[in-house]
Structure 1
Amino acid sequence: MELRQLTYFEAVVAHGGFGRAAQHLRIAQPAVSTQVRKLESELGVTLLRRTTRRVELTRAGELFLAKVRAVQDELAAARTDLALLAGGDIGRVRIGAIQALDPFDLSSSLAAFHRRHPDVELVLRPGRVAALLDALDHDHIDLAICPLPGELPEHVTAAHLFTDELVLITAPEHPTATAGALPITALRDEPFVCLPPASGLRARLEQLAADAGFTPRIPFESASLPQLRDLVAHGLGVALLARSVAEAPGRPVAVHQVDPGPVLRPVGLLHRTDRPLVPAAQACRAFLLRSAGAHRRPPHAS
């Protein structure tokens, strides 16, 4: 049984005869008659009663016509879905992102994308740089939003989203609290609070300290950036944090630009280049890049 046989049979019924069906299909009438006879032969039943004036459905034909039209409806729906899929209007996009994303408003951007593409399922997962790169490698996410590492794997490409600044923060009563910019060496004997190892922030702190000739002592670790800030506010240590986190609402802290500075942190949108993004992920990536400048939050007041 071939799809064209079903199409020809339905056209004969819809147009009331072989000749009109052939005209509609723009093929020769004998071709329509031949394919319908082959269909009846394969099914072992008579679908149509042929008279000199008209064509009528048999009982078997009535039953079969309902099935044929159901199949045609399913095929039409499939074509529509495939067209939407190809256009990025349906599908699933898995995004991994770091915690600190100001000044880029990811929530607003994803909400705007969802309004434009309501049938695209969005999945958002948090993670640190190493975990996000690993998730890309293992096809657990389609897009990653994270600070740009010094070197990217050959199969990963990045587009710039925004640039944040890393600053030093201390408790308001710390001896350096009223100072302006601080060299990191001014805090070399202080306990630091930081994200766990394998995080981009931890690597940046350790590199800055190494360049200054010391190894930071890190007795306090947390996976939560707000908690790191809160630990500093309570006088338990000092920290290197994104300015957007340091200046977020909460208990007061003293914020210091790194001297010499500023220490900038470019954040990018990453994806694999060794396999194509599905159309929905392509559409989401393009949308996020376009909106990167349109949904920036103003800096928090200190």
Structure 2
Amino acid sequence: MELRQLEYFVAVAEEQNFTRAAERVHISQSGVSAQIRRLEEELGAELFDRSARTVTLTVAGKAALDHARAALAATGSLAQAVGEVTDLIRGRLTVGMVVGCTVTPLFEGLAAFHRAHPGVEIALLEDNSEPLVQAVRTGAVDLALVGSAATTPDGLEALTIVSERLVAAVPPGHPLTRADRVTLGDLDGHPLICMPRGTGIRTVLDRACAARGLHPAIALEAGASDAMADLAARGLGVAVLSASMAEHYRDRLTALPLADVEIPALLCLVWRDARGPAVRELLRHCHRAFAAPGPVAESGGVAPDAGGA
């Protein structure tokens, strides 16, 4: 009994068609048929009912299918285990990050991983958080640094890097600075400067407003906090930022916590699973980098250009 025979058997069982199975395993249909026949001769039983247009499993075939899958999975696990022990991680990793990201611990993690495993090619993709989350779900991206609202995205594993409240950032002398407590309702009548839809901070704002039946006037959108701060400092509107973002502009803006926005803005590393050795290794290096002393670890904040969060 050969592993390739088990592979062909599983392919035919799942495709219910010899032609499609042959295309899947990249050999001729006659080659698949011949190997299945040899497997059946060795087992002493027919595995498929070939009498109808759609190939179906016999009772013996049904009994054999789970064992064949387990044998193939065990072989893959064996190769992976040996590869990890001998440090032969190879392949390609696609890493996503929010637009305008300058969260340097992510870069430190990538650099440490590259030094340890130069055989892995790293591709970097920038986008807003929602498209990145979807790309992780589909497998197009292996790991991504994204902004999220309150909870990590459904169906994914996550490591929360930052969790903080939203603030309204205004220039000195703005009418809102005279209030003892600022709420979302207090922003009514003031033009807002926000990040675009698909970003974590915008999602937090939209959800909080929807929960209170509010419809804020979004005057300007910008993908980077530097641009938002510049616009707010010139009196063009009230910028809605995370607390740590606003801290970078305290020389020209006053940060007013939004008292009734309880949903925190999160910055997270997200991934679908960590079964592959390369993903596990990258996560290990990133976790170490984010845990090290630095701007994010010390302040719980985000670099000013982490705008796509």
TM range (shorter): 0.5 to 0.7
Q: Unpaired runs of 5+ in structure 2? A: 1-78, 302-309
Tell me the residue number matched to 2:153. 152
Shift of 1:179: 5.0
Tell me the residue number matched to 2:32. none
Shift of 1:112: 3.1
Shift of 1:142: 0.3
Shift of 1:127: 2.0
Aligned partner of residue 259 in structure 1, secondary structure? coil
Q: Unpaired runs of 5+ in structure 1? A: 1-78
Contact (CA 8 Å) 1:160, 1:269: kept in 2 or not?
yes
Output the TM-score relative to the length of structure 1. 0.61
Change in 2 beyond 3 A, CA 1:138/1:96: same
Change in 2 beyond 3 A, CA 1:139/1:286: same
Shift of 1:132: 0.7
Q: Is 1:207 matched with 2:207?
A: yes
CA distance in 1, matches of 2:123, 2:167: 31
Shift of 1:277: 4.7
Change in 2 beyond 3 A, CA 1:148/1:182: same
Shift of 1:248: 2.2
Query: Match of 1:239, as an amino acid?
Result: A
Aligned partner of residue 173 in structure 1, secondary structure? coil
Tell me the residue number matched to 2:221. 221
Shift of 1:208: 1.9
Shift of 1:133: 1.6
Tell me the residue number matched to 1:296. 294
Contact (CA 8 Å) 1:195, 1:202: kept in 2 or not?
yes
Change in 2 beyond 3 A, CA 1:207/1:83: closer
Contact (CA 8 Å) 1:88, 1:283: kept in 2 or not?
no
1:176-232 deviation digits (Å, cap 9, x = unpaired) = 236565222221211111122233222211222233442111121122232122211
Contact (CA 8 Å) 1:88, 1:280: kept in 2 or not?
no
CA distance in 2, matches of 1:272, 1:86: 25
Count of residue pairs the alignment pairs up = 219
Tell me the residue number matched to 2:136. 136
Change in 2 beyond 3 A, CA 1:148/1:206: closer
Structure 1 consecutive aligned stretches of length 4 or more whose deviation exceeds 4 Å:
99-104, 178-181, 260-263
Contact (CA 8 Å) 1:105, 1:295: kept in 2 or not?
no
Query: Match of 2:235, as an amino acid?
Result: G
For 1:1-302, what aligned pairs fall within 5 Å after superposition? 83=83, 87=87, 89-99=89-99, 105-149=105-149, 150=151, 152-154=153-155, 156-177=156-177, 181-248=181-248, 252-260=252-260, 264-273=264-273, 277-297=275-295, 298-299=298-299
Tell me the residue number matched to 2:52. none
Contact (CA 8 Å) 1:85, 1:279: kept in 2 or not?
no
Identity of aligned residues (%): 26
Change in 2 beyond 3 A, CA 1:237/1:86: farther
Shift of 1:256: 1.4
Shift of 1:175: 1.6
Output the TM-score relative to the length of structure 2. 0.60
Contact (CA 8 Å) 2:139, 2:272: kept in 1 or not?
no
1:117-172 deviation digits (Å, cap 9, x = unpaired) = 34433322222221112212333210022234547343x22233332332221122
Change in 2 beyond 3 A, CA 1:151/1:235: same
Aligned partner of residue 177 in structure 2, secondary structure? coil
1:58-113 deviation digits (Å, cap 9, x = unpaired) = xxxxxxxxxxxxxxxxxxxxx9xx83797464432211122476877322333333
Shift of 1:267: 2.6
CA distance in 2, matches of 1:264, 1:226: 21
Change in 2 beyond 3 A, CA 1:296/1:164: farther
Change in 2 beyond 3 A, CA 1:256/1:104: farther
Aligned partner of residue 189 in structure 1, secondary structure? coil
CA distance in 1, matches of 2:238, 2:120: 43
